[in-house]
Amino acid sequence: MKKFLILLLLTILVNPLLAQKKLIQKLLSNEKDTTRKASFMPIPVLGYAQETGFEFGLGALYSFYMDRKDTTNRSSNFSGTASYSTKKTYNLTLKGDAWTPGNKYHFIGELKFRKTPFNFYGLGNNTNQKDEDRLVQQLMKIQLDAEKTFIKNAYTGLSIGFEDYNFTDKVAGGIYSTSPILYDRAGGSVLYLGVSQSYDTRNSNNYPTKGFFGRVTYQYAPDIYGGSNFTGSQVKVNVRNFWSLAPKVVLGVQGLYHTVQGDKTPFYLLPQLGNDEMMRGYYTGRYRDENLLAAQAELRYRFMNRFGIVAFAGGGKVFANGNFSLHDLKPDYGFGGRYFFDTAKGLSVRLDYGVGEKKADEKRQSGMYISLAEAF
């Protein structure tokens, strides 16, 4: 009996240590998975802000190949985030990026429901912190794109999108309620119909080490809803290129242009500077106007198959139609770390810290981001 108790105690102590050792070995493993199997990565959503209270939820990314035998087939990735806060705000986002066998068809989809507070500072490239006005936004968004290749590396597609916005002003007498140039303050709906053209020579859609990607989309919003709802068009241009500077070092550059053309464009449809992908460090919506122009470069060092670090820098601005200049570009720079949970596909969890401009009488703008997959 005594020997049995000793053996049981050793089993209880050793098994967790062995499991922990296997986990550490997996995390630090420098081996590359070549089985092309599906992968799944969950990450918790935890945070606190005065406006939302405590926020908690879960995000996850599922990745697989539609044709595992074809080594040229790009991976299909589906991600989702669901969160709720103690002040009854919520966010549900589902995104899909699917490639059929032979990469003949490419499908992109996004579904988003959100009710959350955000800060509004006015329009233009030089808004001030002192004008901060707190709003609550309720959003529903659906976006579907379908592309087909007719020429090698080139994809032509169609898209449809629907967005519905509703706003509540939490602070009476602020810039949101007093500005004479804001249209559709209470919100509205818009339906887009569009076309797209892309060209893609990247060797991976998750972690490219060489190649070019360029995509141009044109979307038109017809007069369906009448009244003050938006009628007009928007154009987005997104170009990227990647160079392998050394076996473990990659340089990536990206340029982005987004314009909205129409009469009395609602403020909520205007391009916004700053997010976890471009112009990291700026509060999304601090600067917004009819046009957005931004560029960035990122140096990536993947010193192990599981781990990497990056440094990035760039610049950008927003501006009204017919009022373009380069003299007041906003700076952006920072660094980050990567953990590759699927080494074969190059899928990672990233932690980035971005820094922006320092305006007079304001703190330097900055932000930290935890996200799935590379910024671009």
> What are the sequence ranges of the domains in the chain?
1-29, 37-372
CA distance 44 to 60: 8
**Residues 95-111, mean pLDDT to the nearest whole number:** 97
Question: In which band, very low, low, confident or very high, does the pLDDT at 7 lie, cut at 50, 70 and 90?
Answer: very low
The residue to which tokens 């089985």 are assigned: 35
Cα atoms found within 13 Å of the Cα of residue 190, Cβ hemisphere only: 30
Report pLDDT for 54: 85
The residue to which tokens 């990735």 are assigned: 77
Tokens for 139, please give them. 């959003």
Q: What percent of the chain has pLDDT over 90?
A: 75
Nearest Cα neighbor of 352 from 308, 293, 305, 295 is 308
Report pLDDT for 364: 95
**Residues 190-217, mean pLDDT to the nearest whole number:** 97
Q: What percent of the chain has pLDDT over 70?
A: 89
Tokens for 130, please give them. 């002192």
Report pLDDT for 25: 52
Report pLDDT for 47: 73
Of 1-5, 160-164, 234-238, the least confident: 1-5
Question: In which band, very low, low, confident or very high, does the pLDDT at 50 lie, cut at 50, 70 and 90?
Answer: low
Kindly give, in sequence order, each residue whose CB lies less than 8 Å from that of residue 220, ignoring residues fewer than 6 positions away.
Answer: 192, 193, 194, 232, 233
**Residues 64-88, mean pLDDT to the nearest whole number:** 94
**Residues 206-227, mean pLDDT to the nearest whole number:** 93
**Residues 77-99, mean pLDDT to the nearest whole number:** 95
CA distance 185 to 176: 8
**Residues 298-306, mean pLDDT to the nearest whole number:** 97
Q: Report the sign of the C-alpha dihedral through residues 116, 121, 123, 126, in that order.
A: negative
Q: What's the pLDDT tens digit per position in 268-279?
A: 999 999 999 999
Q: What's the pLDDT tens digit per position in 151-170?
A: 999 999 999 999 999 999 98
> What architecture is domain 37-372?
Beta Barrel (2.40)
Beta strands in the chain (DSSP E): 39-49, 53-64, 76-85, 90-99, 105-120, 133-151, 154-169, 187-200, 211-221, 232-246, 249-262, 291-301, 307-319, 330-342, 347-355, 366-372
Question: In which band, very low, low, confident or very high, does the pLDDT at 250 lie, cut at 50, 70 and 90?
Answer: very high
Average pLDDT, the chain: 89
**Residues 104-109, mean pLDDT to the nearest whole number:** 97
CA distance 310 to 300: 4
Q: Is the pLDDT of residue 374 over 70?
A: yes
Report pLDDT for 83: 95
Report pLDDT for 19: 39
Q: Is the pLDDT of residue 347 over 60?
A: yes
Residue type at 212? F
**Residues 4-19, mean pLDDT to the nearest whole number:** 41
**Residues across the chain:** 376
Collapsing DSSP to helix, strand or coil, 359 comes out as: coil
Question: In which band, very low, low, confident or very high, does the pLDDT at 34 lie, cut at 50, 70 and 90?
Answer: low
CB 76 within 8 A of CB 63: yes
